[in-house]
A and B are shown apart, each in its own frame.
Chain A
C-alpha cells in the first residue's frame, strides 16, 4: 500500500537553527508532492508543492524542499527557523495524478511537530 513516512515525531530547535524534516514515500510512479503546515489553532495551509520541473521547490516563509526521485524523498528545509515556525508539518503525496488537471486524494504522513525556543 502507498504510504508516507515522516521520520521525526517532534523536533525542538532554538531560533536561528537550521531545519530539515524528512519525508519518504512508497510509490514508484509519477507523484505530486506537498508540504502542509498547521499552526496552533489554525487550518492546514499549503507550504509548498512539487508537480514537475526543478526538483528544488521554494515555498512561503523561507521554506524549501528537494525532490530526490531515486530516494523517494521530499525533505523540507529552512536555513534559520523563527519562533513563529512552531507548528505541525505534514508531508503529503498524490499518487498517480492526471497530467494537466491532477486530482485525487492525498496520502499524508503522520506529521512532525516543530517547537522553536525563543
Chain B
C-alpha cells in the first residue's frame, strides 16, 4: 500500500507570506504527527492528532503555526507570516496502535 505522502516537496516563499503544507497519512492510521527538521536541531515535534481527540499542540513554536486534520485523514499545516527561521524540512508521520511512526518524504520550506 501507499506510504505517507506530502505536498509540495519543495516550497519557496517570501518572508511574510502564508504557506500550507499537506500530509496524506497511511489509510487507517489513527494518529498523525508533524515534525520539523532543521540543520543542527534534529527533529522537533510540532503537533499530534489522535482520532477525534483534541490535538496535542504543545510543540508548536508560535501562534503563527496551526494545523488541522479533516475527516480523520488528510492534515494541513499552516504557517502564517513566514519568517526566515521557519526554513526547514517539515515531516509528517502516521501510526496505528503499534506506535511505529511511518514518515513521509517531507516538504522543504525555504523562506527568502
Contact = CB atoms under 8 A, between A and B. Distances in A.
A107 B91 contact: no
B100 A43 contact: no
Interface in B10-47: 30-31, 33, 35, 40-45
Contacts of B105: 43
B45 A105 contact: yes
B43 A90 contact: yes
A52 interface: no
A46 B100 contact: yes
A110 B99 contact: no
A45 B3 CA distance: 11
Contacts of A105: 33, 45, 48, 56, 59
Interface of B: 3, 30-31, 33, 35, 40-45, 48, 50, 56, 59, 91, 93, 95, 97, 99-106
Interface of A: 32, 34, 36, 43-46, 49, 51, 90, 92, 94, 97, 100-111
Across the A-B interface, the 4 shortest Cβ-Cβ residue pairs: A110-B42, A108-B43, A44-B103, A102-B99
